[in-house]
Amino acid sequence: MRTPPSIRCRSNRCRCDRWRHWRRGCWCAGTRCRTIANCGQGSRAVEFDTVIHGGTIVTASERYAGDIGITDGRICAVAERLAGGTRRIDAGGRLVMPGGIEAHAHIAQESASGIMTADGYLSGSISAAFGGNSSFIPFAAQHRGQSIDDVIATYDARARPSVIDYSWHLIVSDPTEEVLHDQLPRAFARGITSLKVFTTYDLLNIGDAGMLDILSVARDHGALTMVHAENHAMVAWMNGELGARGLTAPKYHALSRPELAEEEAINRAITLAQLSGAPLFVVHVSTAGGAARVQRARGEGGQVFAETCPQYLALTRDDLDRPGMEGAKFICSPPLRDAATQDALWRHVQTGTFDSVSSDHAPYRFDGTGKLMHGQGAPYPKIANGMPGIAARLPWLFSEGVVKGRLRLEDFVALTSTNAARIFGAAKKGRITPGMDADIAIWNPEAVRKVTLADQHDNMDFTPFEGMELTGVPEIVMTRGEVIVAHGTLHGKEGQGRFFARAPMGRTGRPGMPVKEVELMRAGAGQ
Ligand code: DUC
Ligand code: ZN
Ligand code: ZN
């Protein structure tokens, strides 16, 4: 038994009389450590589990030379120089950034038509970590007839092997009264504070009325509604027209989901969110028109957030026209577009329309378990939508964004980690400051490598980024102070990742987009 400490925490904010190990401080470790780091340097030896020293720390707002002290999985101190540390990690010549938060991934998830993703939480989390991510927020999908409680219990079990921390966005496809008023509020209270809806796909599309119901419930509980926005009828009509002409090779997938279909559905989703007074997050925006609509809504005060994905910036519909069935690897929805759209999307990334760049990792193998489930020559509507990319997201964006001068390092951090933490309520993640989880990625900004399938460490048999030469490698990735990956070797252990509960949406500083009829209605009802 250790003797009680001879020193006590003197922080005004600390009301804690309990002590863990005397060298580690009291239960309010963040507060006390901050006090020590600020005023105790040199006057009292502070011992850390780990000190990362000599690197350039990069946050969403600044970069500076500094050391990071970590104790009990938390960042305890950030200072110019820190002595001690049971383990010292030399970050000389390296960038020390918040570990990535992958906010859009499909892991151990059946598609609506029953195809299981190739990655479960073990391979999916390992792949994420090799790609510089300390945590992720995949989807937990409700299929029609399922209760949300069952969905969560299912994903609770599926996620157990994860090597990095995780949370989930729900997918809601069946918004019954019970789901809306009983099950969803229970999920929100558990810290699952975001959900996604679809405007397309026969088995997922919830219609405008369903969307208004969900937006209203989410708004009332401080939850965030995400939307996959494509006009279902327009896509169905194009499928009919293409089918009637016998145009069913993979490349016709791109024509079947016109840019107009996304632009219309994004406009509609934003308008529905406006009517209900709810915040909205538009996922995988692939069009200039869709991005411009998001930008306009934000300019008008709307609490509208959006992401795009590397594939829409890196690949085009020409990739769908590769020989034979190769194009099937590039089928995703919304589909890949053209070079002009890529340029427009880059401008929106650079000017802040997009809050994050996510992978939309949807791993369906190029075999009978995935893309080719309906045979070698399957028509495009029978080929699973989605492509892998959880390990490639950050290296690709670093190389194409930061190294090529399109983004500042700080923007990179915001787009890959800090914004997702803020928007999705991950209060302890996405920042390098005392009190935060020690979710950290140490990058070698100069290392050059070619993308290979083996480097993805996933369960896939292809990567759409194969052969691209990228500069910048995440060499060490930590989750809550534990090294998960170091210099190409996995150190993380199965089951080491933890579920993290997320807070309801805080104030965004945006006024919202009031609708006069709704205001008059509320005034009439004395609300
Ligand atoms: N939407 C996604 O978000 N991912 C994969 C397929 C899809 O339609
Ligand atoms: Zn989608
Ligand atoms: Zn997705």
pLDDT in tens, 336-367: 999 999 999 999 999 999 999 999 999 999 99
**Are residues 185 and 321 located together in one domain of the fold?**
yes
Q: What's the 499 CA to ligand 2 centre distance in angstroms?
A: 23
Both tokens of 235, joined, read 């896509």
Q: What's the 471 CA to ligand 1 centre distance in angstroms?
A: 28
Specify the 3-state DSSP secondary structure of 484: strand
* Probe residue for ligand 1, chosen from 106, 116, 307 as the CB with the greatest number of ligand atoms within 8 Å: 106
Query: Of 144, 139, 118, 111, whose CA–CA distance to 383 is shortest?
Result: 111
CA gap 231, 485 in Å, rounded: 41
Per residue, the 3-state secondary structure of 361-382, as one string, reads ECCCCCCCCCCCCCCCCCCHHH
pLDDT digits (tens, 9 = 90+) for 55-113: 999 999 999 999 999 999 999 999 999 999 999 999 999 999 999 999 999 999 998 88
- Contact between 111 and 384 under an 8 Å Cβ cutoff? The reply is yes
Residue 456, domain member (yes or no): no
CA gap 242, 226 in Å, rounded: 30
* Cβ of residue 228 lying under 6 Å from some atom of ligand 1: yes
**Are residues 178 and 30 located together in one domain of the fold?**
no
* Probe residue for ligand 1, chosen from 332, 336, 380, 393 as the CB with the greatest number of ligand atoms within 8 Å: 332
- Contact between 507 and 425 under an 8 Å Cβ cutoff? The reply is no
Residue 7, domain member (yes or no): no
The model's confidence at residue 19, banded by pLDDT at 50, 70 and 90, is very low
**Are residues 175 and 313 located together in one domain of the fold?**
yes
Query: Of 441, 433, 480, 438, whose CA–CA distance to 38 is shortest?
Result: 433
* Cβ of residue 109 lying under 6 Å from some atom of ligand 1: no
For the CA of 386, the nearest atom of ligand 1:
5
**Are residues 171 and 256 located together in one domain of the fold?**
yes
pLDDT digits (tens, 9 = 90+) for 387-413: 999 999 999 999 999 999 999 999 999
Question: What CATH code is carried by the domain that includes residue 174?
Answer: 3.20.20.140
Query: Of 293, 283, 292, 408, whose CA–CA distance to 355 is shortest?
Result: 283
pLDDT digits (tens, 9 = 90+) for 120-129: 999 999 999 9
**Are residues 240 and 132 located together in one domain of the fold?**
yes
For the CA of 284, the nearest atom of ligand 1:
3
CA gap 119, 142 in Å, rounded: 18
pLDDT digits (tens, 9 = 90+) for 430-484: 999 999 999 999 999 999 999 999 999 999 999 999 999 999 999 999 999 999 9
- Contact between 242 and 206 under an 8 Å Cβ cutoff? The reply is no
Q: What's the 359 CA to ligand 3 centre distance in angstroms?
A: 8
Specify the 3-state DSSP secondary structure of 417: helix
Burial class (CB in 10 A: 0-12, 13-18, 19+), 389: buried
**Are residues 87 and 146 located together in one domain of the fold?**
no
Kindly state the average pLDDT of the residues 283-301.
98
pLDDT at position 27:
33
The domain boundary, picked from 31, 59, 93, lies at 93
Residue 114, domain member (yes or no): yes
Which residues form the domain of 39? Answer: 22-93
Q: Whose CA is nearest to atom 3 of ligand 1?
A: 360
The answer to pTM > 0.85 is yes
Residue 202, domain member (yes or no): yes
Rg (CA), the chain: 24
pLDDT at position 36:
38
Specify the 3-state DSSP secondary structure of 67: strand
The model's confidence at residue 510, banded by pLDDT at 50, 70 and 90, is confident
Q: Whose CA is nearest to atom 1 of ligand 1?
A: 333
Residue 6, domain member (yes or no): no
CA gap 510, 51 in Å, rounded: 39
Residue 452, domain member (yes or no): no
Question: What CATH code is carried by the domain that includes residue 26?
Answer: 2.30.40.10
**Are residues 60 and 79 located together in one domain of the fold?**
yes
CA gap 362, 119 in Å, rounded: 9
**Are residues 241 and 264 located together in one domain of the fold?**
yes
**Are residues 31 and 111 located together in one domain of the fold?**
no
Percent of residues, the chain, with pLDDT higher than 70: 91
* Cβ of residue 308 lying under 6 Å from some atom of ligand 1: no
Strand pairing class (100-105; 95-98): unpaired
* Cβ of residue 386 lying under 6 Å from some atom of ligand 1: yes
Q: What's the 105 CA to ligand 3 centre distance in angstroms?
A: 6
**Overall domain count for the chain:** 2
**Are residues 131 and 175 located together in one domain of the fold?**
yes
**Are residues 178 and 312 located together in one domain of the fold?**
yes
The domain boundary, picked from 42, 67, 93, lies at 93
- What is the rounded average pLDDT for all residues in the chain? 92
* Probe residue for ligand 1, chosen from 104, 284, 359 as the CB with the greatest number of ligand atoms within 8 Å: 284
Residue 413, domain member (yes or no): yes
Residue 395, domain member (yes or no): no
Specify the 3-state DSSP secondary structure of 400: helix
**Are residues 229 and 320 located together in one domain of the fold?**
yes
Q: Whose CA is nearest to atom 7 of ligand 1?
A: 333
The environment of the single-atom ion ligand 3, i.e. residues with CB closer than 5 A, is: 360
* Probe residue for ligand 1, chosen from 198, 205, 228 as the CB with the greatest number of ligand atoms within 8 Å: 228
* Cβ of residue 327 lying under 6 Å from some atom of ligand 1: no
